[in-house]
Structure 1
Amino acid sequence: MKELRAELAKAGITLPSLGLDPVSLAREAPCPLVELGRCSVETARRLAAVLR
């Protein structure tokens, strides 16, 4: 998650809700999932542009 946040920051993108999904950590055999969360339309457009 830290690595993803850092790389997104290099591209000028911030996902404010980026974090670990607590439910995935509470399982008997933890399988952590990264929650990308919500972002503004402008952030989504910038993310799409970087992925192109």
Structure 2
Amino acid sequence: MEATERRRVAADRVRTAEAAVAQLKKGLAGVGVTLPSLRVDPVSCAGNEPAPLIDLGRCNIDTALRLCEVLAEKESGHDE
């Protein structure tokens, strides 16, 4: 693979990760959960062949409990 092609593939991976973050933020906001640190991990995007990771970040106890509540509702089928 040529250097130009590698850069294109790398950029596509980063764009895909950014889109996933946007989708997660929107989905979580729709159920009342905000993860302020949700982002693409910049270190994982470094280098010639990045392997982007989604950093879900740190959250306070109230946010963690809200996330647990939403997941429990979803599991029990009460979210419909």
**After TM superposition, is the score higher than 0.5?**
yes
Query: Runs ≥4 in structure 1, deviation > 3 angstroms?
Result: none
Quote the offset at 1:29 in angstroms.
1.0
Check if 1:38 corresponds to 2:58. Answer: yes
Q: Which has the higher helix share?
A: 2
TM-score by length of 2: 0.61
1:3 correspondence with 2:23: yes
Letter in 2 for 1:36: L
1-structure distance, mates of 2:50, 2:29: 28
Amino acid across the alignment from 2:71: L
- Report the RMSD for the aligned CA atoms in angstroms: 0.9
Matches within 5 A, 1:18-33: 18-33=38-53
Q: CA deviation at 1:27?
A: 3.1
Which residue of structure 1 lines up, in the alignment, with residue 32 of structure 2? 12
Q: Structure 2: give runs of 5+ residues left out of the alignment.
A: 1-20, 73-80
Q: Gaps spanning 5+ residues in structure 1: where?
A: none
Query: Match for 1:27: what amino acid?
Result: G
Please tell me whether Structure 1 or Structure 2 has the larger radius of gyration of its CA atoms: 2
Q: Percent identity?
A: 52
